[in-house]
Amino acid sequence: MRIASRCSGPFLGLVLVFCPVVVALAEGPAGGDAALGTIPYDRFETDDVCAACHTDLAAQHRESLMAQSFVHAWDEIEYFELALPHSAREPKVAGIRAGCIGCHAPLAFLAGDIPPKRPSEGTRANEGVSCDLCHSITGFVGDTPFNFNYVAQPGEAKRGTRAGVESAYHEIEVDPFLGTAEFCGTCHNEKDPWGVWVKATHLEWRASPQARAGIVCQDCHMPPAEADPAPGGSGTVHRDVRQHLFHGAHDDGKLRGAIEVRIHPRETEATPGSTVTFVATVLNAKAGHMIPTGSAEERVVWLHVEVIDAAGRRHHLPVQPKGFPGEEMTIASREALAYQDIGEIRGIENFIGLARDGMVPDGDRIFRLPYLDPKGRMTVAQWNTASFGPDYRLAPLEARTETFTWRIPETAAPGSLKVRASVWYSRLVSSVGAYLGVPEEEWEPVLVARHETTLKIDAPALGRQEAQRR
């Protein structure tokens, strides 16, 4: 079911003013901002109930970030220590008070429990994106899924895509909507109070080769396996039971190999004193959207290239700039500062900002989309984003090439020179993580890909001539 709406779209906050009237006229069930406070907590069953029969699916879901979308440490810090104080201080972003919760603690949003209590209080907000929430979604409001515009209608029937199965505990409503990317898009696309698409995983997917091939989010994040979906009930074995992994950037196994890298020297031999060129090719080989996607304001993905001579001496090579506008934001700099808006958000005067690139070594290429605050400075607050810098992320099944040059020092050891290219991924800029007291596992770098090749360094030219004379 799709519910047509004449709302221009549920912008965080703004719609609270304009939409309720329209929705009331339409007399349909609400989605987005208009659904705030429309469904009490007790209309949803808890995950424990489902886990009694759906043993493994429940255990998988429990491990995923979606089950922790409200209690996860960084989420708690960003909502309670940045977003909530900012919403009180700045009228333009007042809507995020409830808006963040529409995706991160949907049961609390629908119950009107805003702001929810801290996770330590143990309220039902802690359930996050729960079984019964997803399995009660019947469609979305409007044409484009975004900003929690899902329509939830909890009840006896649990919705799924498989026809012909039965449960003694609940009714089953077969609904192909759960098998679509739009279902996920209701929370994986986000427009902020400035009207900027600060999260666009579903929109990126729509333009991908995977979408053209009919491969949806569920195929990669809920892969089918032979199993009984309800071993604790009276379930039956199917060949293609949707595994509830929802694995993404917080799963090192999912990250590793998602990007591929190869590096080659243009020359096969070189002499000390001459200049050699290396070209690295970096490819988003496995994701049906940009890498990084979603919370791209926080993620840092970078390419590090070094050479190691036969004597074990290492040299780090900075990337050669290409010359596009805004490129400086994609090359790591130890001096650059950013995130000055944290000062305004928290009411700290003369806050000079934090290291823009955290721990990334000077001169490394960063594959990123810079989020810019209303004053044009880089920010990790997606709700405070008024524009973007250049989009230098990795598009699905598209490669980027990066060039590195090195003048071989006279002192370089002759013999085999190793050239090593590594791609690293950090879920959060380390400077921001350390400053806000976010647990280190949230920002420690993960090695995603590495490739090595060699180049022969000849003995110095003079030495060779002498050798020939002898």
Q: Kindly state the smallest distance separating residue 12's Cβ from ligand HEC, in Å.
A: 7
Q: Kindly state the smallest distance separating residue 215's Cβ from ligand HEC, in Å.
A: 5
Choice between 148 and 404, CB closer to ligand HEC: 148
Report the candidate in 357, 361, 365, 378 with the shortest Cα–Cα distance to residue 430.
357
Is residue 176 a contact partner of residue 166, using CB atoms and an 8 Å limit? no
Q: Kindly state the smallest distance separating residue 361's Cβ from ligand HEC, in Å.
A: 22
Q: Kindly state the smallest distance separating residue 409's Cβ from ligand HEC, in Å.
A: 38
Q: Kindly state the smallest distance separating residue 275's Cβ from ligand HEC, in Å.
A: 35
Our measurement of the distance from residue 11's CA atom to the centroid of its chain's CA atoms, rounded to an integer in Å, reads: 21
Q: Give the integer Cα–Cα distance in Å for 467 and 453.
A: 28
Choice between 58 and 457, CB closer to ligand HEC: 58
Choice between 158 and 365, CB closer to ligand HEC: 158
Return the structure tokens found at 431.
């400077």
Q: DSSP states of 369-411 as a string? A: --EE-TTS-B-S-GGG--EE----SB-BT-EEEEEEEEE--TT
Our measurement of the distance from residue 419's CA atom to the centroid of its chain's CA atoms, rounded to an integer in Å, reads: 30
Q: Give me the sign of the Cα torsion angle 99, 101, 104, 105.
A: negative
Q: Kindly state the smallest distance separating residue 455's Cβ from ligand HEC, in Å.
A: 31
3-state secondary structure of 122: coil
N-terminal to C-terminal alpha carbon distance within the chain: 88
Q: Kindly state the smallest distance separating residue 291's Cβ from ligand HEC, in Å.
A: 4
Q: Give the integer Cα–Cα distance in Å for 103 and 85.
A: 19
Choice between 155 and 415, CB closer to ligand HEC: 155
User: In DSSP terms, which residues pair with 417 in a beta bridge?
Assistant: 455
Report the candidate in 355, 385, 360 with the shortest Cα–Cα distance to residue 371.
385
Q: How open is the CA angle 182-32-17, to the nearest 5 degrees?
A: 145
Q: Kindly state the smallest distance separating residue 375's Cβ from ligand HEC, in Å.
A: 19
Choice between 203 and 337, CB closer to ligand HEC: 203
Choice between 129 and 319, CB closer to ligand HEC: 129
Q: Kindly state the smallest distance separating residue 195's Cβ from ligand HEC, in Å.
A: 14
Give the strand pairing for 171-174 and 300-308: unpaired
**Position of tokens 């609400």?**
30
Choice between 138 and 218, CB closer to ligand HEC: 218
Q: Give the integer Cα–Cα distance in Å for 84 and 104.
A: 14
Q: Give the integer Cα–Cα distance in Å for 148 and 102.
A: 6
Chain residue at closest Cβ approach to ligand HEC:
294
Q: Which helix (H) or strand (E) holds 308?
A: strand 300-308
Choice between 260 and 458, CB closer to ligand HEC: 260
Is residue 426 a contact partner of residue 262, using CB atoms and an 8 Å limit? no
Return the structure tokens found at 416.
């085999």
Q: Kindly state the smallest distance separating residue 457's Cβ from ligand HEC, in Å.
A: 37
